[in-house]
Structure 1
Amino acid sequence: MSENTMHSVCFKTKVVKAQHMKHHDSMRAKHFLAGHHPHGPAAFHARKGRHHHEMPSSGDASKTVTVMDAGMSFSLVLLIDTGSSNTWVSAVDKPFKSTSTCQDTRKTFNISYGKGTCSGNEYMDCVTLGPGLVIEKQLIGVADNATDMDGMDGILGIGPVDLTTGTMGSSDECIPTVTDNLVKQKTIPSACIGICYEPTTTDEPANGCLSFGGPDSSKQVSHSSSRALCSRDHRYTGDLDYVPITKKSPASNYWGIEQSVSYGGQEIMAKCSGISDTGTTLCMLPSSVLDKTTDLLTVTEDQYNSMQSMMFKIGGVEYELTKNAQIWPRCMNNTLGADPSKIYLIFADMGEIECWRWPLLYQCTGFTFLQRFYSVYDTAKQQVGFATTQYTTATTN
């Protein structure tokens, strides 16, 4: 196995519970606004002791990767989450299968989420994420109490390590994440993760690629066991540009960046801080901004034909969200429990911003935006990167 190189793992994306999508995203946005995460990328080198974490519920577009133990005796489907850092598996519906490499730490873990809790025992085991991605002595939680998992076997937490502080019993120590251990064991060169999606266009799972150690600009995936998943190009095509994590709270506690938004050549949102979040499905904007764009969450055929691109300016670079990228896939309207003949926008009402309390969080760009671009989450350098892909301007909806 080559050491200290970037490794890519393919994953599947499927929209679930879409009828409640806006509610889930709104709840997540409220938790962001309330500043429940005391840590984030900007706090990577400044830990502040133990905290009780209220983690927002994950959105409805689930990103899952298959994880195996060292002996390959069983595999699990875990939810990829950039908004948390603990990796755990559920033993609620099926017993956890202990392996020959598994060690009981005799410690417990407890995590509070926006809509439930997760608790159980902490184990140490050898975890395989894919060919060449074997993690020795990884701490994983085995939950005997977990809610709102929607058929998933657990969570693969790939957020900043500080989010794990205080989650293991009464200890103030952090739990090294899978990314931390991959760096420590010299499997990857840096605590940096790249994510690329294939836009969701049907009820069937779409494909994506998760790169550990840095962004992946290659044009070919060498994983023979993943050939069926990675038959298409999931790399970036344009320049990869980075922007530092904002220093403005509460966005600084997450993958928070500063950006402005324009529509049809007119600026509708001046430069402000927002959050890039894979766990949110829709693009959450304040009520006043939605009023200035379409005033509706649905559009007619005539309105759609006259729609223009929405431009997100991040770090001096403009990223175009075409009119086709601004609508929900019409073939998936049934998943929403909605009228199949209507055209729905991917924007949702974040609510009026309480400027007296949190004047510095104005938007949350979720999966429906991120699936059109390649995104990089760099904890080591405290920055987020974006680049175009073959799907950025594609007509898929």
Structure 2
Amino acid sequence: MASTVAGSKVALPFARRVSQAGSTNLVDFDQARAQFMRDNAQGKYAGVSSATEAASMVNAPATARVVSYTTEVQIGNPPSNYSLLIDTGSSNTWAGANLTNPFVFSGTTELTSNAVCVSYGSGFFGGDEVMDQITLAPGLTIAEQGIGASIWSEGFGGVDGILGIGPQDLTCSCIPTVVDNAYKQGLLEAYEIGISFTPSTTPSEMNGELTFGGVDERKYKGTLTYVDITSTSPASHYVGIEQSVMYGDTEILGPTSGIVDTGTTLLLLATDAFNAYQNMTGATMDDSSGLLQIDEEQYGALQSLYFNIGGTVYELTRDAQLWPRSLNKYIGGTEDGYYLVVSDNGAVSGSGLDFINGMTWLERFYTVYDVGNSRVGFATTNHTHSGNNSRTI
């Protein structure tokens, strides 16, 4: 068994990569994921036992993933390197999606008798469950981790699989997550993950960091404020919270439940709240990108969104509501266009999952998923009020 310093905090850097828009745009992908999360919590995917069945449950053909948030890990000994998507919305860790970088069995790989088949709404994978060691970062090697060795997959072009860091019972309750095992093996100082992600105007940048076993006080300002995981289903099955949303002085989404999610790019609001937002901003739907579009004058009049979470208000500025203009071509937009990152959740309020605060929201606030205490913490950062998205270069 590999060793590490007991009770430590370990940083794991991750990158955002933006690729040219293909057949599936940002909105299609995120909405398919939102629908999957609602269906999954209601048991639609329970008992999936084959890759064929998992494939039949894909809601959108996400063969061209526009935005990926990935980290590099090593599996096995001798180790093989894999680029995995960071996902608080799932619990399984698996690799081998990329045909040019298949899962490699090593001297520490133990094949179990279990098959693993998981649908994600926008993709799927099927393969064998193995027990192996996984190194997330120097000083954090987890032994006897259940890992999926992919044989079939769809919707994961350009990446090798998923690092699932969400609640254990999300996708397969029989397999503890890497966070669960790391803590149980005495490798972490605390049963929590700190998530730091900063705005970027370039297509590929190492601009994020996960802190396993604690928080990094250098990454945020002021005090972390915590709220309990919501008890309202289906949000309660994920990293779910309660919040209300105001556009300027007008409430567009009353107190309700939803989730924070590293696997979603946009900020998704319940359909009625989204419609109110569109009407108040004067935005029109752009068919090419699937996003709301405004002109320069409307951008100048754009008001902040205010999120009340547990009595603390977090401001999403007008710049934070804007897709980085320097990256417009990657979403099929025009070079000088103004595109908003607020989109439709795909269901009216009252569904139990009325919003998803995706990475365009998380890049403005430091976030802590306190697994051990079933709560989530937030704080502002030096980037909460930064204003680079409106620049074209």
Task: State the TM bucket, normalised to the shorter chain.
Answer: 0.7 to 0.9
Structure 1 partner of 2:366? 374
Contact 1:328 1:344 in 2 (8 A): yes
Secondary structure at 1:101 match in 2: coil
Partners of 1:244 and 1:148 in 2: how far apart?
A: 33
Contact 2:34 2:345 in 1 (8 A): yes
1:64-109 CA deviation, whole Å, 9 max, x = no partner?
A: 1111135454311111111111111116614432222222223321
Alignment of 1:252 onto 2:252: no
The verdict on how the C-alpha distance between 1:92 and 1:279 changes in structure 2, with shifts beyond 3 A counting, is closer
Partners of 1:313 and 1:396 in 2: how far apart?
A: 25
Secondary structure at 1:272 match in 2: strand
Alignment of 1:30 onto 2:25: no
Q: How far off is 1:351 after superposition? A: 4.1
Alignment of 1:289 onto 2:276: yes
Q: How far off is 1:370 after superposition? A: 0.8
1:168-223 CA deviation, whole Å, 9 max, x = no partner?
A: xxxxx611211111011100133311111121211222410001112221x4xxxx
Match of 2:92 among 57, 67, 86: 86
Partners of 1:280 and 1:60 in 2: how far apart?
A: 11
Q: How far off is 1:16 after superposition? A: 3.6
Match of 2:331 among 309, 329, 336: 336
Q: How far off is 1:60 after superposition? A: 4.3
Q: How far off is 1:262 after superposition? A: 1.4
Structure 2 partner of 1:125? 132
Amino acid aligned to 1:380: G
Secondary structure at 1:152 match in 2: coil
Amino acid aligned to 1:275: I
Secondary structure at 1:115 match in 2: coil
Q: How far off is 1:22 after superposition? A: 0.8
Q: TM-score, normalised by structure 2?
A: 0.85
Structure 1 partner of 2:113? 106
Q: How far off is 1:131 after superposition? A: 1.1
Contact 2:33 2:120 in 1 (8 A): no
The verdict on how the C-alpha distance between 1:198 and 1:72 changes in structure 2, with shifts beyond 3 A counting, is farther
Structure 2 partner of 1:75? 81
The verdict on how the C-alpha distance between 1:190 and 1:56 changes in structure 2, with shifts beyond 3 A counting, is farther
Structure 1 partner of 2:355? 363
Alignment of 1:9 onto 2:12: yes
Partners of 2:74 and 2:256 in 1: how far apart?
A: 42
Partners of 1:182 and 1:136 in 2: how far apart?
A: 8
Sequence identity (%): 42
Partners of 1:38 and 1:380 in 2: how far apart?
A: 24
The verdict on how the C-alpha distance between 1:342 and 1:195 changes in structure 2, with shifts beyond 3 A counting, is same
- Aligned pairs for 1:1-397 (under 5 A) are 1-16=4-19, 18=21, 20-32=25-37, 34-37=38-41, 51-52=47-48, 60-69=66-75, 71=77, 73-90=79-96, 93-94=99-100, 95-165=102-172, 174-217=174-217, 219=218, 235-285=219-269, 286=271, 287-296=274-283, 297-351=292-346, 353=348, 358=351, 360-397=352-389
Secondary structure at 2:367 match in 1: strand
Partners of 1:179 and 1:262 in 2: how far apart?
A: 35
The verdict on how the C-alpha distance between 1:206 and 1:127 changes in structure 2, with shifts beyond 3 A counting, is closer
Contact 2:87 2:261 in 1 (8 A): no
Q: How far off is 1:349 after superposition? A: 2.2
Contact 1:198 1:206 in 2 (8 A): no
Partners of 1:288 and 1:73 in 2: how far apart?
A: 49
Contact 1:90 1:144 in 2 (8 A): yes
Structure 1 gap segments, 5+ residues each: 40-49, 166-172, 220-234
Partners of 1:253 and 1:215 in 2: how far apart?
A: 23
Secondary structure at 1:163 match in 2: coil
Partners of 2:139 and 2:215 in 1: how far apart?
A: 17
The verdict on how the C-alpha distance between 1:262 and 1:147 changes in structure 2, with shifts beyond 3 A counting, is same
Partners of 2:265 and 2:144 in 1: how far apart?
A: 33
Structure 2 gap segments, 5+ residues each: 49-53, 284-291
Matched residue count: 360
Amino acid aligned to 1:88: W
1:43-81 CA deviation, whole Å, 9 max, x = no partner?
A: xxxxxxx65597988974311111113545431111111
Q: How far off is 1:135 after superposition? A: 0.6
Partners of 2:330 and 2:98 in 1: how far apart?
A: 27
1:317-369 CA deviation, whole Å, 9 max, x = no partner?
A: 011111111111000000011111111111112345175xx3x3322211111
Contact 1:260 1:314 in 2 (8 A): yes
Mean Cα deviation higher: 92-101 or 151-160: 92-101
The verdict on how the C-alpha distance between 1:92 and 1:261 changes in structure 2, with shifts beyond 3 A counting, is closer
Secondary structure at 1:161 match in 2: coil
Q: TM-score, normalised by structure 1?
A: 0.84
Secondary structure at 1:201 match in 2: coil
Q: How far off is 1:271 after superposition? A: 1.3
1:9-50 CA deviation, whole Å, 9 max, x = no partner?
A: 111111245451111112122233x342259xxxxxxxxxx6
Mean Cα deviation higher: 262-271 or 243-252: 262-271
Amino acid aligned to 1:284: L
